[in-house]
Structure formats: C-alpha cells, structure tokens
Structure 1
Amino acid sequence: MSACDDVVMPKPGMPLQAALIPDCTKPEAHRAAYRTAKANDAIFVCVARHGQRWKVQLDAMASRKPYVPDQSLAVLRSAAEALVLDGTVEQANIGADYISMGPIETEERAREIGAAFHAAMYGLQLLHMAAPSQSEASSRRPGGGR
C-alpha cells in the first residue's frame, strides 16, 4: 500500500491541511494523488523527498476552475521570494498553473509551505471567480465598459 492510496484531496474550494498533503516521493504515489485531485476537481499539492531534503509541488491544472490570474501571482511570487531570501528554499518556480519549491530542510516545513500555498491558490482562484479583473468587468458591461 503506497502513502497516497488513502489520499483525501479536498472538496472543490477546500485547501488541504499540512498533515493531509501526500508524500509523492514515488512516481506511482504521485500519479495516484494527481488522479485523485483531478477526480475531485481540486488543486493538486504534494511533498516529495529530494535527496536528503524535500520539495513542494502544486498544480492548478488538476482543477477545471480558472488558473490564478497574473495580477494575483504577484502575491505568490512575493511569498516565494521571501522563502528564498531567508534560506528556507533554494529555488521557487511560480506560474499561473504550477508552483514548485525546494529543497526544503524538513518534511514538516515542506508540508507547512505546501498547505499555505495551497490555501493561497484556492483563495486567489475563488476571489478571481467572484470578482473579475477590471478588464473582464468592463468587457461585460453594455457598450464595452464606456
């Protein structure tokens, strides 16, 4: 039985707590957890051993909801930069549909970071769906916003 056999990805719109983030060090565990996220229309998140350290991965493409918009990515990038600057992670890659960070010293810290970014991605995604950007709102008004 792999670590991800009993993965409980959140219901749509619900971020995972740190303790529930799957360990997807083994490729088959990663595939199983990603399938579960996709089946639940959830943003995928996992931690995985990276040598003696850990990495965090998030993937919004598992969800059918809109990706985090560009203007909201600044929040995620700023948080990731702070983690790099304080030495918590050596590298962070942030995109509208994918986040990868590592290496991270401990599994516990990787889970904390994964849970925080998972919650942030959900929150930003939900905010974007509830309150569209200025350009989207203008294009929805009669006359194109004028």
Structure 2
Amino acid sequence: MLTPGMPLQAALIPDCSELEAHRAAYKKAKANDAIFVCIARHGQRWKVQLDAMASRKPLIPDQSMTVLRSAAEALVLGGIAEQINIGADYISMWPIRTEEEARAIAATFHAAMHGLQQLHILV
C-alpha cells in the first residue's frame, strides 16, 4: 500500500501528456502534500517533471539540489537526456528516448527529492 506523499514506483508515475492529466496529477500531489512528479510526451520522446512546490514541506536546500543537478548533468553527458532545467524547487529533463526510461528517471529523482526533503526536515 502506498502512503500519500511517499515516492512513487516507476509504473505509478502519471503520464501528463494531456493538460487535464497534468492538472489532476498536480492537484493530487498538493492534496497529498507530496512532491509532484510526472512524465509527458515531448514530440516522439518524453519529458520528466518534478516540482517540490506542490508540497507544503520545507523546500530542498541548495546543497541537496546540487547533488540532483550533478545526477541530471550525468544523464546529459551519458546521452540519456539532452536538456535539463533545475531550480530550487523544480527539475525537468528532456528529450528522453522511451517512456520506460522516463518513468525510471522520474521515479529515481522523485525518491531522491523525497529523501533529501525528509532529511532536511529531520535536521
């Protein structure tokens, strides 16, 4: 059983290719006080999006976001994604070749953001 606000498994990452699906998934994340995560079709490829602002919990500190930025940059260097956009509370990566890759990346970054947020709250 999945607890609201917990990291999502790859198979449960919502496909927000349609605007209404995006709105519904973001609304659900806010209602569950969770970090928003989704994948969306980006032409023939896929995009991964995460947004910590959906959660009312403290934002992830810059030092922690540096770790996530390094991981995202490694995906670009490895040819998995071509572009990344990372802010204090937001991550997006695209284009990613397959839906399966996008789901795996989204789930991994979602778990990492969740863990870093929880660590920040604890400390």
TM-score, structure 1 length as denominator? Answer: 0.81
1:72-92 CA deviation, whole Å, 9 max, x = no partner?
A: 111101100100001100001
| Cross-structure match for 1:138 | none
| Distance across 2 between alignment mates of 1:71 and 1:97 | 12
Aligned runs of 1:1-146 on 2, under 5 Å? 11-12=4-5, 14-131=6-123
The count of aligned residue pairs is: 122
| Displacement over 4 Å in runs of 4+ | none
1:59-105 CA deviation, whole Å, 9 max, x = no partner?
A: 11110001110111111011001000011000011122111000000
Is there any run of 5+ residues in structure 1 with no aligned partner, and where? 1-8, 132-146
The alpha-carbon deviation at position 25 of structure 1 amounts to 0.1
Identity of aligned residues (%): 76
| Distance across 2 between alignment mates of 1:10 and 1:33 | 16
The alpha-carbon deviation at position 51 of structure 1 amounts to 0.3
Is there any run of 5+ residues in structure 2 with no aligned partner, and where? none
Aligned-residue RMSD, C-alpha = 1.0
Q: Are the aligned partners of 1:23 and 1:46 in contact in 2 as well (CA < 8 Å)?
A: yes
RCO greater where, 1 or 2, for CA within 8 Å and sep 6 or more?
2
TM-score, structure 2 length as denominator? Answer: 0.96
1:83-130 CA deviation, whole Å, 9 max, x = no partner?
A: 000110000111221110000000000000000000000000011111
The alpha-carbon deviation at position 10 of structure 1 amounts to 5.1
Q: Are the aligned partners of 1:42 and 1:60 in contact in 2 as well (CA < 8 Å)?
A: yes
Could you say what secondary structure the match of 2:56 adopts? coil
Could you say what secondary structure the match of 1:127 adopts? helix
| Distance across 1 between alignment mates of 2:13 and 2:120 | 24
Could you say what secondary structure the match of 1:125 adopts? helix
| Distance across 1 between alignment mates of 2:81 and 2:60 | 22
2:105 alignment partner AA:
I
- Larger-gyration structure (1/2): 1
